[in-house]
Amino acid sequence: MTTRNLKTAKQGLQGTLTIPGDKSISHRAVMLGSFAQGITEIRNLLHSADVKSTIQALRALGVEFEEQATVLRIRGRQLADLHAPSEPLDMGNSGTTTRLLMGLFSRLPFDVELIGDGSLSKRPMDRVAIPLRTMGAQIDLTNGNLPARIHANDRLQGIDYTLPVASAQVKTALIFAALQADTVSHIEEPVVTRDHSERMLLAMQRPVERYQHTVIVRPGLQLVAPQIVVPGDFSSAAFWLVAGLIVPQTQLYLQNVGINPTRTGLVKLLQRMGATITVQNRISTAEPVADLSVVHQQLHGIEVVADDIPGAVDEIPMLVLAATQANGLTIIHGAQELRVKETNRIATVTTELNKLGAQVEELPDGFKITGPTRLHAPAGTMVSSHGDHRIGMMLAIAALITDGQVVLEDADAVDVSYPQFFADLEKVLV
């Protein structure tokens, strides 16, 4: 566990950053490329701890990877060509790896066991296992959590299923299993969630259909290997967007950011708070990308409701930080999903920001934030990521506007999704 003295931005942030590859898309590219016919080439893959967990798991089953500085090549295999791993597959801290592979591995001809670190082992897996069992998957959990054993299985049936809570991970796990089923599946979500899996399947010439909130998946795992360029991760860009808005004397330009409309809910919420975020150089391919620029601005409080959450769920900690600097009251409801992330993010965000003098009140399903608040850290205040990458980076941005010295405990948690975060921060500190 590492500690880091965080820095104050006394003269603002200035410069241009190229955002690292999208974590969600990197996971899906590696997983689907492992089963595609031919050689899948992936550029701008995110080289983070989570994505490495995905690669290592599939490599253990016999998938061949050739890694170079700028490209990952995957020689796809059919299910029958894979082999049983010699030991449990370590998911590390990656909930995405775990939940998506539960779906993808539901029809393997051999048993696999999934394990994870202490944090991941506390995260609920029943929400994926229960509908997969309905399809015929044989999955044993440990009190609803990891370790999990997925038993050898030669048959899956289609499913008509309505997700009780909007979740792109659960939806994707069911899509991956439905591609291997014997009959058609209909998966309905209460609110449309990120659609990276559907877009990637289209790029691999295996489209799924959508009718309003329902995804229709017809059987068949015949995928054609594509060339994939992973856009910059919007969730990583979010730290700099909020930093640009709340740190005085700041102007930031962010290159190659994915602006998939199912991911950019934070932009809409910040705009409702009065922010102007400039979008330039739009490119529409399988995943739309653009350059974003932002300068320091005054914000005002808003009310956030449940329908706003799915498109911004990973960015809510940064929205709370922005709200501490906004005029008036911000209330966030419908975010109870944050309680089962890498940490209980409602509790950790509240606790850690209040250490710096913020006025954040924890609600059962969200937050009540009063702003603006001048943040301060008397006598070298110690804050903690609690092993959660997004909490660690949020606190580093908060420290930029905090009087006094802030010390971050468990700083290396950021490696899960953004290994070069602190190096990028150094680039733009004036």
Q: State how far the Cα of 326 lies from the Cα of 68, in Å rounded to an integer.
A: 45
Q: State how far the Cα of 179 lies from the Cα of 157, in Å rounded to an integer.
A: 10
With 80 as the cut, is the pLDDT of residue 166 above it? yes
Q: Phi and psi of 378, rounded to 5°?
A: -70, 135
Q: State how far the Cα of 108 lies from the Cα of 46, in Å rounded to an integer.
A: 27
Q: Answer whether 232's CB lies under 8 Å from 255's CB.
A: yes
316-324 and 234-246 are packed helices; what angle lies between their axes, rounded to 10 degrees? Answer: 0
With 80 as the cut, is the pLDDT of residue 44 above it? yes
Does 314 participate in catalysis according to the annotation? yes
Model pTM above 0.85:
yes
Tens of pLDDT, residue by residue over 96-140, are: 999 999 999 999 999 999 999 999 999 999 999 999 999 999 999
Polymer length of the chain: 430
Tens of pLDDT, residue by residue over 359-409, are: 999 999 999 999 999 999 988 899 999 999 999 999 999 999 999 999 999
Percent of the chain at pLDDT exceeding 90: 94
Place of tokens 């080439």: 41
Which residue is catalytic, options 22, 50, 195, 314? 314
The one-character DSSP state at 16 is E
Token readout for 240 is 């700099």
